[in-house]
Structure 1
Amino acid sequence: MRILRLTFAGIGPYRDEQQIDFERLEADGIYLIAGQTGAGKSTILDAICFALYGSVPRFEGSRAHLRSDHSGPGDPTFATLDFECGGRVYRVTRSPEWERNRKRGSGTTRQAARATLMELTSEGSRGMSSSAQEIGAEIARIVGLSKDQFLQVILLAQNRFHEFLLAKNEARQDLLRSLFGTQRFERLRLTLVERCKTLGGELQAERGLLDALADQSARLAGIGESPGDPDAEWFRSLVPACVSRLAAAQVLVREADARYALAEVEVARVQRIHALQARHSAARVEHSRLSAQRPHRDSQSGELAAAQRADAVHSHLQAESAARAVRDAALTRWAETADALRSLTGDEPNPETAVAEVRSLIEQRGALDQALADERALPGAEAEGDRATRERDTAEGERSATATRLAGLPERIEAVQETLRAARERAILVEPLRAERDRCELRQAAARQLVDAVATHSSLAAAHLTAVTENSAATHAHEELVIARFRSFAAELAIRLVPGQPCAVCGATEHPAPTPAAEGGLVAPTAIESARQYMDECRARMDTAQRDLAAAGERVAAMRVEAGPLTVEEAAEAVAQARQNLDEAEDARSRAAAVEEEQAALRAEQDAAAALLESQEERREAAVSALAAALATRAALTARVIELRGTHDSVADRVAELERRRELTEAYVVAADSARTAVAAADAAGRAVEVQLAERGFARRDDARAAHRGAEDLAELAEAVASFDRELAGVSAILAEPELADLPAEPVDLSGPAAALAEVRTSRDAALAERATRDERAQQVEACVTEALARLEEQEAGNRALTELRGLAETVDGKGPNTRSMKLESFVLAARLEEIVAAANARLGVMTSGRYSLEHDDSLAYRGAASGLGVLVFDGYTGVRRQPASLSGGETFLASLALALGLADVVTAHSGGIELDTMFIDEGFGSLDPETLDIALSTLDGLRAGGRTVGLISHVDAMRERIPVGVQVRVADTGESALETGAVGRPS
């Protein structure tokens, strides 16, 4: 993550809008945010954290102190942050809830909190969300860090810097848990412990079920109480006993079945004799009854014969009655049609002339068809006339409206033409103004580069002066060594003199006064060579510095020529003015295009209106012609209808009267023909009846009707005669059966055999019930035994699983075999802490010259407290390990800084390898002596090798000398603060 720009207003001591371009500070790698105590340096970090996460680290999420006390109801409060992640640039803006002026009326109203997130691209910006909740989730996804992680690895705030080093075991665990998200290990531990308790309870409940099965099995098997802890062998021993008792019950059932079969045979024999006696007695009674009914049977037989003869005559009698009814109805219809026709015409109808009259009426009706059609078409013709009138009026109105609109278009076209002329005059200036804007932007860029080039030139001048000084010192040192070497030649020869041996210079064998060595000792040739090499190196560095300084001077001169006389601020104002002028010209060009389209649209509308007016004129003329034709058609139809309707109200009324006369005349002709036919048919039916009466032996029609019976009555008579004959034959057959001949005279007794059978049945039912009870109990015992054996096997497996689970649960819970009393999450976090300590020691050893190093302490805590996350400090001078709280203020700062940087490295590695290109450290440098401060800054300077930019917040003056570039916080007399980006000088 790389922070690019921050813009905010109305936060802390800042009322007006402030902006920091962190990209300008990236070239230096380390920059300072300086200012007096309380000026608002830490507020910059508050604004960054608020923009990203919606809360302020110093106030633990409270927004009560966020809004500036200097802001009035009309002053806004917001923070906008541009940052880069994964090669994509985002902008997040937040504003808290605050009281603002009402847009209408007096007083204030509460402005709700707002938030927006967008992605910035080369084509523009793309909105991602305006929901605070969604933005929080998007920021966590994009940055890859939660707020706690962000405050530990990017923004090291004042009140959190030493927190991790001096924290207790529990507090350090909470912090590491939030950074590494290890709550899942704690949930796993709790799950294992809970599962262990649950499984133990389940096994205990299972033991209770086994005891209940044992009691039930013992009761069913009839052996009393069960043992205290029944095993599988005891359960298996219950089945054979139940099987033996069931076999004995089955023997008793077979004996009872045999006795019951013998009793059933005797009862059946006695019952058969009793049934035969009853059958013989009933047959004798029924034969006597039938003999008494014989005269009635003979009477029914005669009645049946007469009814069968009358049945043949009955159909002819019915045909005669029907023919007479048809004749009477036909005569009545003939009379009715004659009366109706007489009432309509007033004349007496004549059957002879009625047919000719029907033909005449049909001809008169046919002559009125066209007149009837004309009368039906008359309403349509009237409606057509009304429609033609409306069409003419509508066409006239539309033509008039179009003519009015067409008359007003020339004036509108002239006004648009004038607007277009003015826009084109302004649009011509686009290209010259664009060139002017480009020139201003080039001058602005050159002015900015000039500032950097002057700063670089100053830095290189200082480096050149240092190189010259070093070169002079190295040359002087080399000369001193050469002179000393020349002076030490005699002493060097004196060292080689040996008593009795000749001198290499004078040849004497005595050496009374050899030259002693100088106070500093002899100068070796290697020392002179080393000094010469160092002198050459210094000269080379001086030459390089001289060339770099000259090149920087040339760049400054070139930038001055490109930038011209304008300062950075003046160049920025010129760019803004040029951009405004260009925007206005481009807007005019855009407006010209729009006005051209409007002009073309108006002209097209004028042409269309002229064409429309012409077509509407044609439509009006066509409507007038159609109206004249419709009126003529209506007049012709009306004249023909009046002529042909005669004295009637309408042609339809005249047609209806003719249709009525024709219908009545036709009905009269048909009724007369039907009456003549019906009279002839009735006479023929009478003659057929007389013939049938004579053939069947009936003197009169009434005799045949009296003898006739319906089909059901006739069938009943025939069935009654046949039934009597069948009953008599059946009774006679029973009395003649052989097995009824030798029956005892006295009725047999059924009660004795029946009582014996009931007694045997009772004893058999008791035997069957006992066998069923023993069979059911045997099955229940077998089922209980099967279930108990299965539960015993499951309980044994459950006990093994519980033993394994209990060992695992106690281990992850810091008990039992876990001698360190470290819970699972603590064990995972301890591994992370070891990585953090190792990463911290890589820097702490350098910062403390090898004296101090941190050690992970996993020793048992006092009184069984949680352990495994301790941190100790090893003092290399004394060889003693001690608590971090015993360090001095400066030592605590160095250890905290090393631990914070190590923590940042490890969190980065375990957060998907995200890139952290920006870091802020708030205060703590005032506790360091100059030498330690140099070491700390050198360590932070090393972060630049990994591409990081480090922002330090401090009020210490010594920091300004070492870090001359950054952001200066200025405090006005009113207490309001403002920011300046660039050189950070001493306060005036």
Structure 2
Amino acid sequence: MRPMRLDMAGFTVFREETTVDFTDADFFALVGPTGSGKSTVLDAICFALYGTVPRWGGTRGLANALAPSATEARVRLVFESAGDRYVATRVVRRDGRGTVKTANAGLQLMPPGFDITKLDTGLSPEDLGEVVAGTPAEMEQAVLDAVGLPYEQFTSCVVLPQGQFADFLHAKPATRQQILVNLLGLGVYEEVQKKATERAGHAEAKLEAVDKMLGGLADVDEESLTAARDRVDRMRELAGAVAAAVPELERARATAREQAAALAALDAELTVLTGVRPPDGTAELARAVAAARTAADEAATAVGLAEEREEKLRGELAAAGDESALRVQLKAYADRERLAGDAAAVRAAVDAAQAEHDAAAGALAAARAEAERAEAELEAAFRAHEEAKATDQAVALRAHLVDGGPCPVCEQPVPKVPAVPKGSAVARALAAGKAARAASEAAKRVVQERDAAARELDRVLLRARAEHDQLGARLAELDGQLAGAATPEALRGSLAEHARLRR
């Protein structure tokens, strides 16, 4: 027995699906730390073939096959034996009461040249070959015929359990001899010896009978021997004719017995039928049965027509296209219509913001011009004030005097500053300067306010343009999505046809 491939899922430590491929491996070693699953691989091979593992303590330890918290374990072993390739499968499940049982077990003879890599494509069990055993009870003899070893000998010389490697070496000579006979296929020589012994016994018995017969023919001469041979030939011819006629005679006798039994059965039925009387209402019942059969036939015909109609409608529904795609396109039309309205509103808002921005820019320019003009007037008033001061120095000095302060000329205290004469150029220049300064400051405030308003309108305009650009991009995307699509009316008609076909 040579393993080719081992598949495990939910088996002890192998919770996930695991495959061990032995193909083209003449020798191999399983290497890993303690608890990594090396012994479990050998347990899986033994379990797939015999349904148990030595360290489980027999079939009562079947629950050990399940991985922790798993409800199903599956093991499949592909192996070669005596030139044939087999696949052994076992499935263990835990039911609702916690009982663990073998749910499926089977052995199949795979067809010659079968590529085991196809097992990765999810083949059904029917594709794996001829079923040799289909139940756990059938598996025992089928595996014994395929492998050539029972469970006890398999676990003594092929898959030796941990701690029992020396059992085979220390077994009794008769036990070791029987294991070697099974391993080397020497049992065939025992069968040959038995058959030869039986044939020798039969030959000796025949020889003894012939010797006795020849002993009683001591007085036979050549003439009597020739006559005996002629009688033997005629008897052989007669025996051949009888042998040829016997099967026909047996068939005739069998036919006669069958006919006699059938005749006896008919006689018995006739005897019973002589006392049979039809009950009342038989005719009405027969008519009712006929009517019911007619109605049943009509109903069956109606069912057939309805099924044909249903199949036709399902075909039409399938040909009508994907309903969800139609709804997506119709929603795209609705979104486009809504977005087009939003885009128009945003466009109007952009235009209004642009107009307001332009008006604010004009007002800002006018305010700046007014500020420049007020600044020019302030400059002119300043020059007039300087000219007036140059013309009337006394009046100009008077502007710097305060009551009780020193005079800048004579340094004498000034008890009371005299009033500026009416009509003085300095007074007029001061008044004009104050007015020009107030106008200039007012113009600057207007410029600042209108400049702030213009900046706010710039931000509003930028936001409106960005929103308009986003809506334009979304509309372009919807236009691309709806390129070549049917009209909304056609889509609604298709959806209505879908609804009608479903009803």
- Asked whether the two chains share a fold, i.e. TM above 0.5, the reply is no
Larger radius of gyration: 1
TM-score (ref. length: structure 1):
0.18
